[in-house]
Amino acid sequence: MGLASSIVNMDSTHYIKDLTTDNITRNVIAINSQCPEPRFRLLLERLVTYLHDFARETQLTTSEWEATIKFLTEVGDACTEFRSEFVLLSDVLGLSLLMDSINHPRPSSNNELGGSLVPTEGTVLGPFHTHDAAHLAHGGLISHDEDGEPLLVVGTVRDTEGRPIAGAQIDVWENNSHGLYDVQYPDRDAPDGRGILKSDEQGNFFFRAVVPVPYSIPNDGPVGRLLDQLKRHPMRPSHFHFMIFKPGYDRLVTALYRRGDPYERSDAVFGVKESLVVDIGPVGDVEGFSAKYGVSPETKLMRYDFVLMSEKQMRELQEQKAKEAKRT
């Protein structure tokens, strides 16, 4: 880090006195440099630098600082076992989408990977994934929502060479026709609108669900008030979550978005990508599907072919992107 050496009169216990707007940052970094973990030391160094630069550059006032402390305290108050207001804050500030982009980059062109298929893009995980979903046989129904519009989901899982990935775990979750995830039900006693499948030998899977609807992110807390102040709406377009994993492959956290949704272009948490937008039409439009999957022709159909990157491909791509980030 090299900053400690610029401190005047620094001895073994540090010399922290007469700190001003101009010298406080390097001195806080110097005292934090006692930390023996290099990565944590680096994170704190950059955090302190950005935090202080923000205050200096904006000439942040005492009352603005007080308002920020009050806001963070309210965000803390709004957190419960089933609601993380801090995740919501990260979501609406675009940080969650950025985290996915940084940690699960995609090649700018597919030549970089040398495969024939473009890997499926990731998107925000959101706060509604749980670990108690039931395992389903193919064709199983994940929803108990009697008001929901029936949906057949048909998919495949492949690698970038187009080879089927058998035995991938496919974790799916969605909201119901009232715009609620099961953890938002007042009387939740078992999972609903979620399930776990495994791809078959050909990498295929299918199950039954309901058509997801647009909904508001939890909007009655401090993050909702922030959106109000910014004149932003709290809506997310209809989407269906997928988390797909098999050892040796990079875990894919993604979602499919319904084309034509009123919020397709203004998702409150910035998750929509064109490659993840799908048409949802009647099963009857695809020859033979109604009989093959045993559902009525009026049932809606959502199809998608997922493509996973291997862990090795992802590691190499991350290293390359990190190098590019350093150059810019």
The least distance separating its own copies from the CB of residue 266, rounded to whole angstroms, comes to: 5
* Rounded CA separation 242/173 (Å): 7
Options 2, 5, 59, 137; binder of its own copies; rule CB under 8 A: 59
Q: Does position 62 bind its own copies by CB under 8 A?
A: yes
Choose one: 92-100, 173-181, 282-290, 301-309; the region binding its own copies (CB under 8 A). Answer: 92-100
Query: How do strand 300-308 and strand 281-282 relate by DSSP bridges?
Result: antiparallel
Site string for its own copies, 137-176 (x = CB under 8 A): ----------------------------------------
Options 6, 103, 202, 296; binder of its own copies; rule CB under 8 A: 103
The least distance separating its own copies from the CB of residue 153, rounded to whole angstroms, comes to: 23
Phi, psi angles (nearest 5°) of residue 64: -70, -40
Q: Does position 3 bind its own copies by CB under 8 A?
A: no
Q: How many residues does the chain have?
A: 328
The least distance separating its own copies from the CB of residue 169, rounded to whole angstroms, comes to: 18
Choose one: 162-170, 172-180, 191-199, 263-271; the region binding its own copies (CB under 8 A). Answer: 263-271
Say if residue 29 is exposed, middle or buried (CB neighbours under 10 Å; 0-12, 13-18, 19+).
Answer: buried
Strand order in the sheet with 277-278: 194-198, 169-173, 239-245, 252-258, 277-278
Options 1, 6, 82, 98; binder of its own copies; rule CB under 8 A: 98
Query: Rounded to a whole number, what is the distance in angstroms from the first to the last CA of the chain?
Result: 21
How large is the C-alpha radius of gyration of the chain? 24
Q: Does position 95 bind its own copies by CB under 8 A?
A: yes
Choose one: 24-32, 150-158, 195-203, 211-219; the region binding its own copies (CB under 8 A). Answer: 24-32
Options 133, 165, 272, 295; binder of its own copies; rule CB under 8 A: 272
Say if residue 132 is exposed, middle or buried (CB neighbours under 10 Å; 0-12, 13-18, 19+).
Answer: exposed
The least distance separating its own copies from the CB of residue 167, rounded to whole angstroms, comes to: 24
Query: How do strand 252-258 and strand 194-198 relate by DSSP bridges?
Result: unpaired
Token digits of residue 10: 């620094």
